[in-house]
């Protein structure tokens, strides 16, 4: 497969252009166009001969939007991104008062096997490259950009895949995303969500990038968590929580714990009390998420009264807590739902979808 230009830093792109016999200033021109989400045909002041040379030797963007769903309730937009090899991944664009957040995918599928997630139902097909992840951002930013005002101001790595299972590519993506000569999104506006790969958390802490670490916790005991998240059998709470403490101490950044409320699994008030005891002593915030219904899993969110009671008990125990604003529920906003429905429809139609 041809090299993907969004995989390259500006310095690397200049080197590549040198190998093609082109001057460095041309590389800088092309780099600028790439950061606007453009493909070769959109590079207006690049000569036809150079564009043809580039097309023969490389690809510009690694992801393009092939399907968009827009929620009539809150304006949330969900995308299917087509990759060059025919695979597809998802992204979700959400508008908040502080800016526009894009949730991106880091892998095609996921190998972690969490019981409440549709992304993992077919396992992990492959990792995304740094440029493919960046293209998700650049494509959506171009769609919503208004002049010099960026269309995407915040990025969360919470879509399909486990970011720390694709560590090297994710790390380079973060450097590309925050490069001052590129789209230049501050890593303080980036959140990375992990199911709890302790070795990856410790490596990320040493990078001291300034991003927010979100931990998919979802249960206050090993027994409950292992039933929902197989990763807990490898990295139990006795190892995960100290790693979170090390991250907080090394980076000075507050940890966010994601807690999916699943009826009959983790929503008893005693669970709230165990959760409060578990995170005590950590500078952290708990984000409550009524679980999205995934029909293959048979898991359901609690009723409104149960959600409110759980949240109130945490507040009584002096835990910083909010309930995540539910966005995009009407368009399959949860991880993997749109991709899975696309795969099912393709199978019905006999389409050769990966």
Q: Where are the alpha helices (DSSP H) in 44-197?
A: 48-57, 130-144, 167-178
- Note if 244 is an active site residue: no
- Note if 90 is an active site residue: yes
Query: Are 263 and 306 contacting, i.e. CB atoms less than 8 angstroms apart?
Result: yes
**Hey, what are 337's tokens?**
């739902």
Of 103, 124, 244, 335, which one is the catalytic site residue? 335
Which residue matches tokens 């780099």? 31
DSSP state of 4: B
Query: From start to end of the chain, where are the E strands?
Result: 63-70, 77-83, 88-96, 99-103, 107-109, 124-127, 154-157, 190-194, 212-216, 255-261, 284-290, 321-323
Of 14, 77, 90, 258, which one is the catalytic site residue? 90
Query: Are 89 and 160 contacting, i.e. CB atoms less than 8 angstroms apart?
Result: yes
| Short-list 283, 298, 282, 289, CA closest to 219 | 289
Write phi, then psi, for 123 (nearest 5 degrees).
75, -170
Strands 88-96, 124-127: parallel, antiparallel or unpaired by DSSP? Answer: unpaired
Strands 255-261, 212-216: parallel, antiparallel or unpaired by DSSP? Answer: parallel
Query: Are 231 and 112 contacting, i.e. CB atoms less than 8 angstroms apart?
Result: yes
Which residues are 242's β-sheet partners?
Answer: none
What separation, in Å, do the N-terminal and C-terminal C-alpha atoms of the chain show? 17
Residues with catalytic function: 90, 335
């Amino acid at each position: 497969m041809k090299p993907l230009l969004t995989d390259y830093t500006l310095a690397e792109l200049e080197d590549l252009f040198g190998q093609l016999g082109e001057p460095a200033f041309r590389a800088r021109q092309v780099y600028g166009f790439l950061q606007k989400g453009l493909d070769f045909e959109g590079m207006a002041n690049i000569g036809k001969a150079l564009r043809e040379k580039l097309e023969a030797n490389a690809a510009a963007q690694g992801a393009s939007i092939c399907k968009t769903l827009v929620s009539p309730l809150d304006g949330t937009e969900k995308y299917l991104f087509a990759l060059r090899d025919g695979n597809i991944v998802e992204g979700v664009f959400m508008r908040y008062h502080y800016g526009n957040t894009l949730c991106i995918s880091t892998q095609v599928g996921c190998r972690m096997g969490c019981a409440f997630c549709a992304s993992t139902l077919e396992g992990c097909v492959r990792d995304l490259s740094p440029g493919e992840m960046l293209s998700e951002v650049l494509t959506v930013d171009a769609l919503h950009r208004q002049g010099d005002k960026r269309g995407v101001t915040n990025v969360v790595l919470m879509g399909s895949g486990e970011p720390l299972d694709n560590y090297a590519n994710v790390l380079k993506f973060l450097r590309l995303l925050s490069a001052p000569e590129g789209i230049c999104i501050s890593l303080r506006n980036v959140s990375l969500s992990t199911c709890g790969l302790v070795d990856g958390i410790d490596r990320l802490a040493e990078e001291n990038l300034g991003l927010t670490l979100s931990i998919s916790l979802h249960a206050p005991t090993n027994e409950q968590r292992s039933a929902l998240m197989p990763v807990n059998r490898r990295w139990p709470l006795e190892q995960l929580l100290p790693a979170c403490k090390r991250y907080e101490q090394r980076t000075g950044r507050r940890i966010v714990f994601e807690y999916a409320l699943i009826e009959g699994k983790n929503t008893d008030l005693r669970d709230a009390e165990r959760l409060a005891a578990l995170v005590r002593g950590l500078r952290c915030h708990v984000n409550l998420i009524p679980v999205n219904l995934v029909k293959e899993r048979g898991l359901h969110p609690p009723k409104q009264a149960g959600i409110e009671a759980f949240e109130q008990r945490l507040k009584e125990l002096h835990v910083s807590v909010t309930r995540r604003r539910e966005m995009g529920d009407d368009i399959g906003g949860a991880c993997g739902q749109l991709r899975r429905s696309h795969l099912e429809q393709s199978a019905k139609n006999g389409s050769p979808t990966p």
